[in-house]
Structure 1
Amino acid sequence: MSDYNEFDILLNALSEHVFVLSETGRYVNAFGGQENSRIEDSKANVGKTINDVFPQRLAKIYLSYIQRTLQEQCTQKVIYQFSREEMGDSYPGLPGTDEIWFEGTIKPLPLIINNERTVLWTAKNITEQRMIEQRLKVLSEIDELTSIANRRTIVERIDSAIKEFQEFGRIFTLLIFDIDKFKRINDTFGHPAGDRVIRHVANIAQRELRSRDCIGRLGGDEFLVLLRDTDIGNAVSVSEKLRKCIAHTTCSFPNFEVLLTISIGLAEIGVGDLEVHHLITRADQALYHAKKHGRNKTCCYDASMEEGMDEPAKAKHWVMYKQDSDDPIR
């Protein structure tokens, strides 16, 4: 057996795919990929160009990686994905999968082949790692009880919306609501029933709110809704629709039904709202006003509301958003 054949066998035993590519994107050689059982498929690309192998959009991206590597004469690391939808019959993933992810390491080589500079492209399959990361990301963003956004996520989205308003003038209104007399439900029927009621309300809100709106659970029975591209007048219409829908939909249990109502506070973004807690505080003051004046209603923030609020109630607004737990706030 020749030295070349031994060397070739060693390269093909690599778990990663290894390609030698020219500066115009032509496959000069291919090795490895043993963990994916795709060695022969990879070698079939030798002599072809990236444009022959990939859709135009992907080919353009991959060629830019090669050219940048050669231009800067430094190693690059890139993350890229193949989807079954875009690749069609050329999709390199396993049957039953819809996408495959790779981490590419692209190094300039001191080789000129057919008057073209070359790079070494090593592709490591990171699909499993990527899927785990995506699952963890979802878990970190979603409220476990209701499957809507959790406190951290909704606050981050409001913060992004504030930045968009400051930069582009994109308005929005914040809606905050909670379930009237929720403590009585917990005390009468128990916490499992309370959890069921919270899920019931969250499901209705998700169904009734518009696709561009974002709802999250602050904790306990309290929810925040980001109403994008919505001034206070239109926000009242959205809020009233939601309030009436919840009031007219019973939460069913095996032996009984519970009628629920919610109280809602609204605050529209303003020029002075530079921090999330400024806006949430105003919306919560409107909610406080709604509950104080009979519940089951929508109230819009007005500066006069602060005049009748005692100091302990005011202090609550400044600390509630610093909590890390999902314990009931109200």
Structure 2
Amino acid sequence: MKDINQLDILLDALSEHVFVLSESGQYINVFGGSENGRIEDSKAHIGKMLDDVFPEKMASLFLSYITQTLKAQQIQKVIYVFTKEELGDRYPGPPGTKETWFEGIIKPLPLTANNERTVLWTAKNITEQRNLEQRLKTLSEIDELTHIANRRTIVEWVTSAIKEFKEFGRTFTLLMFDIDKFKRINDTLGHPMGDRVIRYVANVARNELRARDCIGRLGGDEFLVLLRDTDIVNAMAVSEKLRRRIEENPCPMVDYDVTMTISIGMAEVKIDDNKAIALISRADKALYYAKNHGRNKTCCYSAEMEEGEGIKSQRWITRSRARRERKERSRIKL
């Protein structure tokens, strides 16, 4: 008896929770969980069924994991979450938290209990790891200056929108815009004030868009907007509303306001679009047509905007990279 008690003490000292469960979902035994501080609560599960402990949907999911493990006779790894909203008083997470994530390792055991096969379920709390991964994911998707989507993310969204257009016919239009004569703002007021203007324009644009639309910063003062379920005619109305909003609402500074305008180029998705770069390039050409024809206006892409019609067209990626390099050299000189 002494040896058994010592073994129980050792098993309960494990940082991770370890459950022995039958194939019908009954708790046969429970060990460990010292890092969660809920050993006694878990011990109370012994003899209960999964649906005594969890809501029906969650209990059915866990039972399906057990069934799959026993059927395959292989170790299975699963990720699951407990939420305060779903479990209420039965929520196993620390006070003040709303969700707790676990990684479950489920292993078939060569043992039976009450004439049923059993599994060993080890539950590792991965909430901290999960939160870190989410923070890193957010940082990789969001532009640090404006807190909207960054270049990579907005291009990925365009790619996904093209796939939806191909599969379901969901049309969309791209708006590409930048701030007219932004270099003058930087040169006159300095880069910190220039950054403030960029943030302001991003906020105004974001507030003008619907929840299903997307906006991202391509770099510098250049932005890309994806208007879902919007053809070129309706996109023009959105574009002009945005353009006027920027023109009529100067960026407030401490001692003065900065008045600015934007130029916008538009391109609607076409049936032969397969890659985001071609569609973005058309919006880019329309933008530079607008800038070369007076600024502070919206222009729709047309074939006349190609090289032969008076605008020296370059690949969008090459031109964007060149702009960024010029901006960096300018910053270094300062």
Q: Give the equivalent residue in structure 2 for 1:303.
A: 303
Cα separation, 2, equivalents of 1:60 and 1:266: 50
Instruction: Read off the aligned partner of 1:24 and give its amino acid letter.
Output: S
Instruction: Read off the aligned partner of 1:98 and give its amino acid letter.
Output: K
Tell me whether 1:274 sits opposite 2:235 in the alignment: no
Please report how far the alpha carbon of residue 57 of structure 1 lies from its aligned counterpart in structure 2 after TM superposition: 2.0
Q: Give the equivalent residue in structure 2 for 1:21.
A: 21
Q: Give the equivalent residue in structure 2 for 1:37.
A: 37
Q: Give the equivalent residue in structure 2 for 1:181.
A: 181
Tell me whether 1:314 sits opposite 2:324 in the alignment: no
Instruction: Read off the aligned partner of 2:316 and give its amino acid letter.
Output: H
Please report how far the alpha carbon of residue 319 of structure 1 lies from its aligned counterpart in structure 2 after TM superposition: 2.2
Please report how far the alpha carbon of residue 6 of structure 1 lies from its aligned counterpart in structure 2 after TM superposition: 1.1
Cα separation, 2, equivalents of 1:320 and 1:120: 59
Cα separation, 2, equivalents of 1:106 and 1:256: 65
Residues 195 and 326 of structure 1: is their aligned pair in 2 closer, same or farther, counting only changes over 3 Å? farther
Cα separation, 2, equivalents of 1:244 and 1:92: 53
Contact 1:165 1:171 in 2 (8 A): yes
Residues 320 and 131 of structure 1: is their aligned pair in 2 closer, same or farther, counting only changes over 3 Å? farther
Q: Give the equivalent residue in structure 2 for 1:51.
A: 51
SS of the counterpart of 2:203?
A: helix
Please report how far the alpha carbon of residue 257 of structure 1 lies from its aligned counterpart in structure 2 after TM superposition: 0.9
Please report how far the alpha carbon of residue 206 of structure 1 lies from its aligned counterpart in structure 2 after TM superposition: 1.0
Q: Give the equivalent residue in structure 2 for 1:8.
A: 8
- For 1:223-278, what per-residue CA distance to the aligned partner results, in whole angstroms no more than 9, with x for missing partners? 00111111111111111111111111111111111111111111111111101100
Cα separation, 2, equivalents of 1:197 and 1:20: 60
Cα separation, 1, equivalents of 2:208 and 2:63: 46
Residues 117 and 140 of structure 1: is their aligned pair in 2 closer, same or farther, counting only changes over 3 Å? same
Q: Give the equivalent residue in structure 1 for 2:233.
A: 233
Q: Give the equivalent residue in structure 2 for 1:124.
A: 124
Contact 1:15 1:33 in 2 (8 A): yes
Q: Give the equivalent residue in structure 2 for 1:287.
A: 287
Q: Give the equivalent residue in structure 2 for 1:92.
A: 92
Cα separation, 1, equivalents of 2:149 and 2:233: 25
Q: How does 1:148-187 map to 2 (within 5 A)?
A: 148-187=148-187
Cα separation, 2, equivalents of 1:315 and 1:290: 16
Cα separation, 1, equivalents of 2:240 and 2:119: 62
Residues 8 and 326 of structure 1: is their aligned pair in 2 closer, same or farther, counting only changes over 3 Å? farther
Residues 305 and 130 of structure 1: is their aligned pair in 2 closer, same or farther, counting only changes over 3 Å? same
SS of the counterpart of 1:146?
A: coil
Contact 2:281 2:315 in 1 (8 A): no
SS of the counterpart of 1:34?
A: coil
Q: Give the equivalent residue in structure 1 for 2:209.
A: 209
Please report how far the alpha carbon of residue 26 of structure 1 lies from its aligned counterpart in structure 2 after TM superposition: 1.1
SS of the counterpart of 1:166?
A: helix
Q: How does 1:185-200 map to 2 (within 5 A)?
A: 185-200=185-200
Instruction: Read off the aligned partner of 1:308 and give its amino acid letter.
Output: E
Stretches of structure 2 lacking an aligned partner (at least 5 in a row): 329-334
Q: Give the equivalent residue in structure 2 for 1:256.
A: 256
Instruction: Read off the aligned partner of 1:233 and give its amino acid letter.
Output: V
Instruction: Read off the aligned partner of 1:154 and give its amino acid letter.
Output: I
Please report how far the alpha carbon of residue 321 of structure 1 lies from its aligned counterpart in structure 2 after TM superposition: 6.4
Cα separation, 1, equivalents of 2:85 and 2:310: 57
Which deviates more from structure 2 when the two are superposed, residues 47-56 or residues 207-216? 47-56
Please report how far the alpha carbon of residue 139 of structure 1 lies from its aligned counterpart in structure 2 after TM superposition: 0.6
Residues 162 and 297 of structure 1: is their aligned pair in 2 closer, same or farther, counting only changes over 3 Å? same
Instruction: Read off the aligned partner of 1:241 and give its amino acid letter.
Output: K
Residues 104 and 326 of structure 1: is their aligned pair in 2 closer, same or farther, counting only changes over 3 Å? farther
Please report how far the alpha carbon of residue 318 of structure 1 lies from its aligned counterpart in structure 2 after TM superposition: 4.3
Q: Give the equivalent residue in structure 1 for 2:331.
A: none
Stretches of structure 1 lacking an aligned partner (at least 5 in a row): none
- For 1:66-120, what per-residue CA distance to the aligned partner results, in whole angstroms no more than 9, with x for missing partners? 1111111100111111111111111111111111111100001111111211110
Residues 230 and 87 of structure 1: is their aligned pair in 2 closer, same or farther, counting only changes over 3 Å? same
- For 1:22-51, what per-residue CA distance to the aligned partner results, in whole angstroms no more than 9, with x for missing partners? 111111110000011111111111111111
Tell me whether 1:135 sits opposite 2:135 in the alignment: yes
Tell me whether 1:75 sits opposite 2:90 in the alignment: no
Which deviates more from structure 2 when the two are superposed, residues 160-169 or residues 263-272? 160-169
Instruction: Read off the aligned partner of 2:211 and give its amino acid letter.
Output: S
Contact 1:220 1:327 in 2 (8 A): no
- For 1:256-315, what per-residue CA distance to the aligned partner results, in whole angstroms no more than 9, with x for missing partners? 1111111111111111110110000001111011111111111111111113245xx422
The TM-score with structure 2 as length reference comes to: 0.94
Instruction: Read off the aligned partner of 2:313 and give its amino acid letter.
Output: K
- For 1:168-196, what per-residue CA distance to the aligned partner results, in whole angstroms no more than 9, with x for missing partners? 22111111110011001001111011000
Cα separation, 2, equivalents of 1:31 and 1:297: 69
Q: Report the count of equivalent residues.
A: 327
